């Protein structure tokens, strides 16, 4: 049995929690490319997913994962071809990604996961990313008024920050960039895609327009068949902690969608990016 590992990369408010909960709903409903495997041989604790799903079933947003949290949920999966796999899904507070970037240090537990990972899943919410029209001038001016590391990190243009972070992670994983990478695969999910005016453009084009340096970097580092960019709307709309959205009360697993890298109509199968990430190129 294949037992793949993934590295889930996403900062605070990137949509990791809601995607995990909605993905669990899809897997449980057994309607997509991946399904939960029903057997007695793999003990599982799916409570982190179930808690998110319960919140969504009440029509309200789930709490974000706390900063110090790190857990791994074992997902016993089966694909459409009948191949069984046990996927370890990481769940952690998005602030940990900020700390890695600010300190230029990667904890040992992260290093081992980066080395062993079959795929990297990167979540970016474009609407919350800061981009400067003239980044160098802006950063120079702001640096004059900033001394602490948190202030310096917040002043980075999102293009430079994501490229710098990926370079750190690639180095820690022992991955060079002289030749384009075929493994681990990289899937980029542009979260809250329902809030983006994409004008029917495919997600890779949207990323290239919003974060051109990041787009150019990942396309230069990863081989074409080992990189994909998806639009993700895990909920299909905005939920608040005090919401009471009856559409979700009727079944949160019926909400949310992805847009494939080639564009086209939204697809309700939220497991598609994960299935692509785990397949052999």
**Higher-scoring residue by pLDDT: 133, 173:** 173
Residue 48 lies in a domain: yes
Give the integer Cα–Cα distance in Å for 161 and 153. Answer: 8
Residue 93 lies in a domain: yes
DSSP-derived 3-state class of residue 260: coil
According to the model, what pLDDT value does residue 112 have? 87
186 CB burial (10 A radius; 0-12, 13-18, 19+):
buried
Give the integer Cα–Cα distance in Å for 34 and 78. Answer: 6
Mean pLDDT (the chain) is 82
Residue 23 structure tokens? 């993905």
Distance of CA 34 to the CA centre of its chain: 17
Q: What residues make up the domain containing 273?
A: 6-278
Checking if the pLDDT of 230 tops 60, the result is: yes
Question: Rg of the chain over CA atoms, in angstroms?
Answer: 19
Distance of CA 17 to the CA centre of its chain: 10
* CATH code: domain of residue 179: 3.40.50.300
Residue 1 lies in a domain: no
For 72-92, write each residue's pLDDT tens digit: 778 888 888 888 888 888 776
Reference 128, options 153, 150, 158, 155; nearest CA is 158
Number of domains within the chain: 1
According to the model, what pLDDT value does residue 104 have? 84
Model-level pTM? 0.84
> What separation in angstroms does the CA of 106 have from each of 89, 96, 190?
19, 10, 24
According to the model, what pLDDT value does residue 10 have? 85
Q: pLDDT band for 143, please (50, 70, 90 cuts).
A: low
Checking if the pLDDT of 208 tops 80, the result is: yes
Residue 32 lies in a domain: yes
Give the integer Cα–Cα distance in Å for 3 and 104. Answer: 30
Phi and psi angles of residue 148, each rounded to the nearest 5 degrees, phi first: -80, 160
Residue 183 lies in a domain: yes
Among 126-130, 191-195, 243-247, which is the least confidently predicted range?
243-247
Checking if the pLDDT of 243 tops 80, the result is: no
According to the model, what pLDDT value does residue 14 have? 83
Q: pLDDT band for 124, please (50, 70, 90 cuts).
A: very high
- Preceding omega of 98 cis (within 30 degrees of 0): no
Checking if the pLDDT of 138 tops 60, the result is: no
Number of Cβ within 10 Å of residue 52's Cβ equals 25
According to the model, what pLDDT value does residue 252 have? 73
For 35-66, write each residue's pLDDT tens digit: 888 765 555 677 777 777 777 776 667 665 55
For 165-190, write each residue's pLDDT tens digit: 999 999 999 998 889 999 999 999 99
Residues 261/225, Cβ–Cβ less than 8 Å: no
Distance of CA 98 to the CA centre of its chain: 15
Reference 89, options 188, 181, 19, 154; nearest CA is 19
Q: pLDDT band for 151, please (50, 70, 90 cuts).
A: very low
Give the integer Cα–Cα distance in Å for 43 and 83. Answer: 18
Q: What region, left, alpha or beta, does residue 200 occupy, with left being phi > 0 and alpha being psi -120 to 50 degrees?
A: left
Checking if the pLDDT of 154 tops 70, the result is: no
Residue 252 lies in a domain: yes
**Inter-axis angle of helices 16-29 and 47-57, nearest 10:** 90
According to the model, what pLDDT value does residue 272 have? 95
């Amino acid at each position: 049995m294949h037992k793949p590992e993934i590295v889930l990369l996403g900062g605070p408010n990137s949509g990791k929690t809601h995607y995990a909960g909605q993905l669990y709903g899809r897997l449980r409903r057994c309607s997509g490319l991946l399904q939960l495997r029903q057997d007695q041989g793999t003990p599982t604790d799916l409570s982190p997913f179930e808690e998110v799903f319960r919140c969504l079933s009440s029509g309200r947003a789930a709490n974000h994962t706390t900063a110090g949290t790190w857990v791994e949920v074992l997902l016993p999966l089966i694909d459409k071809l009948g191949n069984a796999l046990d996927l370890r899904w990481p769940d952690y507070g998005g602030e940990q990604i900020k700390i890695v970037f600010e300190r230029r240090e990667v904890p040992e537990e992260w290093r081992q996961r980066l080395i062993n990972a079959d795929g990297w899943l990167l979540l970016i919410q474009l609407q919350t990313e800061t981009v400067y029209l003239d980044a160098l001038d802006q950063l120079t001016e702001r640096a004059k008024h900033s001394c602490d590391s948190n202030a310096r990190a917040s002043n980075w243009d999102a293009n430079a920050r994501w490229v710098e972070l990926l370079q750190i992670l690639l180095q820690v994983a022992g991955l060079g960039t002289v030749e384009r990478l075929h493994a681990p695969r990289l899937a980029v999910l542009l979260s809250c895609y329902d809030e983006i005016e994409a004008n029917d453009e495919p997600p890779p084009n949207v990323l290239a327009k919003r974060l051109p340096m990041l787009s150019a970097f990942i396309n230069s580092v990863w081989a074409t068949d080992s990189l994909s960019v998806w639009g993700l709307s895990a909920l299909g709309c905005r939920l608040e902690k005090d919401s009471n959205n009856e559409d979700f009360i009727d079944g949160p697993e019926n909400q949310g969608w992805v847009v494939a890298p080639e564009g086209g109509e939204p697809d309700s199968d939220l497991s598609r990016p994960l299935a692509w990430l785990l397949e052999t190129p």
